[in-house]
Amino acid sequence: MSPSRRRAASVLQRSTGALSTAATARMASDMPWFNELSAQHRSWVGMIVQAGIRGFVEWYDPEVDTPELATMVFGAAPRELTGVITLKQTVDLIRVSIEVVESNIDHLLDPADAPDVHQSILRYAREVAFATAEVYARAAEVRGAWDARLEALVVDAVVRSEADETVLSRASALGWGARGDVAVVLGAVPGQRAETDVFEEVRRVARAAGMDALCATQGERLVVVLGGVQDARKAAHVVAGLFGEGPVVVGPVTDDLSRAHASARAALSAHRAADGWPEAPRPVCSDELLPERALAGDGHARRHLVDEVYLPLLGARGTLVETLSAYMQHGCSIEATARTLFVHPNTVRYRLRQVADVTGLAPATPRDGFTLQIALVLGRQSGRS
């Protein structure tokens, strides 16, 4: 090492404490956010500044064996500091520290030594900037991996009907806004796309539509929990294009995340039974697949068809079930039904309109007629009359 460089390094070494004090004072006066930090966090920031200045002195002296720059500067403070101050604020800290050192070089050093130190501090600042980016990138990667695991746990708890206060707290930590009505959407995992890319796209389109979104993959199935849902079908349309090939099913809207298991249960049942209706729209509501779900052995679907379709027909007017049964038996022919019941065809038409009013299902529509027929069978099997 040249005598000039050795002389400059010696002066800088003796001035480390004064430079650190000056940098801390400059932060307190120029950075309002610094004074708003807790005492502990301010001490952490102070350690980084001191380490940065000391690191330059050691880095400038080639006789000193220095560790990796990121370790030398940021090793003095806990990694948790990346969650306390932002990357921009950290860059501001480095800028202030460098400015303080630069502004004092000419006063501390021999004029012949100052130019070399000025050039060196510019190179040092560039290397510290790269080290800063590396620290924050690693922290972001760790947070991303942790968030992904946490999100998978929340979605799994919803699917398994285990959404308690802990799950709600975890969802809140992931940015879930708890904006009320929730629906669960299921479909195949899209092929040839990274899981993280799919999740980010789901969250992006959901946010654009004013909804929250939690995502997870379970085997070959992609599960999306949507919050802030007003209409289940419209909400599912927003994300349907991001699923893989095959049916996309949405469960009914529930009051909040703690009750979303009901939506998940219906969506899971409907997704398993969806192959029974190849022409189903995409997305399809789980209630539209009630016949297929009932045939697949879903007890909830069976009870729903009995309680919400068969029993209301039975209670509204005794002749509605009789008329509907005859209508189904005679190939949906109004005239044949009228002859069987010894009534006018218009009477049959009137009763069928009543069936539609009571159940929301039109007997003349093939899909609705199929649902009504399954409901009749299940109603009779239930023994409730």
Q: Place 67 in a pLDDT band, splitting at 50, 70 and 90.
A: very low
Q: What is the pLDDT of residue 193?
A: 67
* Residues 6+ positions from 99 with CB-CB distance below 8 Å: 26
Q: What is the pLDDT of residue 101?
A: 76
Q: What is the pLDDT of residue 82?
A: 56
Q: Which residues sit opposite 217 in a β-bridge?
A: 222
Segment 302-313 shows an average pLDDT of 93
Q: Which residues sit opposite 223 in a β-bridge?
A: 186, 216
Q: What is the pLDDT of residue 207?
A: 86
Measured between alpha carbons, how far apart are the two ends of the chain, in Å? 102
Evaluate whether 247 touches 280 at the Cβ level (below 8 Å): yes
DSSP state of 309: I
| CA 160 to chain centroid | 18
Distance CA 306, CA 235 (A): 28
Tell me which amino acid residue 376 is.
L
Q: Is the dihedral of CA 132, 137, 142, 147 positive or negative?
A: positive
Q: What is the pLDDT of residue 160?
A: 77
Whether pLDDT at 50 is above 90: no
**Dihedral in degrees, nearest 10, Cα atoms 87, 93, 95, 98:** -140
- H or E stretch at 218: strand 212-218
Tell me which amino acid residue 382 is.
S
Whether pLDDT at 355 is above 80: yes
Verdict on whether the full-model pTM lies above 0.75: no
At 152-186, the pLDDT tens digits run: 777 777 777 666 667 666 677 667 775 679 999 99
Segment 74-89 shows an average pLDDT of 58
By DSSP bridging, strand 221-227 and strand 182-188 are antiparallel
Q: What is the pLDDT of residue 75?
A: 47
Q: What is the overall mean pLDDT for the chain?
A: 80
Segment 304-323 shows an average pLDDT of 89
Minimum mean pLDDT among 195-199, 215-219, 310-314: which range? 195-199
At 217-262, the pLDDT tens digits run: 888 889 999 988 989 999 999 999 999 999 999 999 998 888 888 9
Whether pLDDT at 77 is above 50: no
Distance CA 85, CA 83 (A): 6
Q: What is the pLDDT of residue 1?
A: 52
Q: What is the pLDDT of residue 70?
A: 46
Reading the block at residue 228, the tokens are 């802030």
Strand order in the sheet with 182-188: 212-218, 221-227, 182-188, 249-250, 284-285
| Superfamily the domain 299-382 falls into | PucR C-terminal helix-turn-helix domain (1.10.10.2840)
Whether pLDDT at 363 is above 90: yes
Q: Is the dihedral of CA 36, 38, 41, 42 positive or negative?
A: positive
Q: What is the pLDDT of residue 219?
A: 83
The DSSP result for 137-160, as a single string, is: HHHHHHHHHHHHHHHHHHHHHHHT
Domains 178-289 and 299-382 share a fold: no
Reading the block at residue 171, the tokens are 């969802």
Counting beta carbons within 10 angstroms of the beta carbon of residue 217, is it exposed (0 to 12), middle (13 to 18) or buried (19 or more)? middle
Whether pLDDT at 138 is above 70: no
Q: Is the dihedral of CA 310, 311, 317, 319 positive or negative?
A: positive
Per the model's pLDDT, the better-predicted residue between 25 and 363 turns out to be 363
DSSP state of 256: S
**High-pLDDT (> 70) share of the chain, %:** 77
Q: What is the pLDDT of residue 266?
A: 94
Whether pLDDT at 213 is above 90: no
CATH code for the part of the protein at 178-289? 3.30.70.2730
Q: Which residue has the tokens 């879903």?
A: 298
Q: Where are the domains of the chain?
A: 3-142, 178-289, 299-382
Segment 273-302 shows an average pLDDT of 94
Q: What is the pLDDT of residue 162?
A: 67
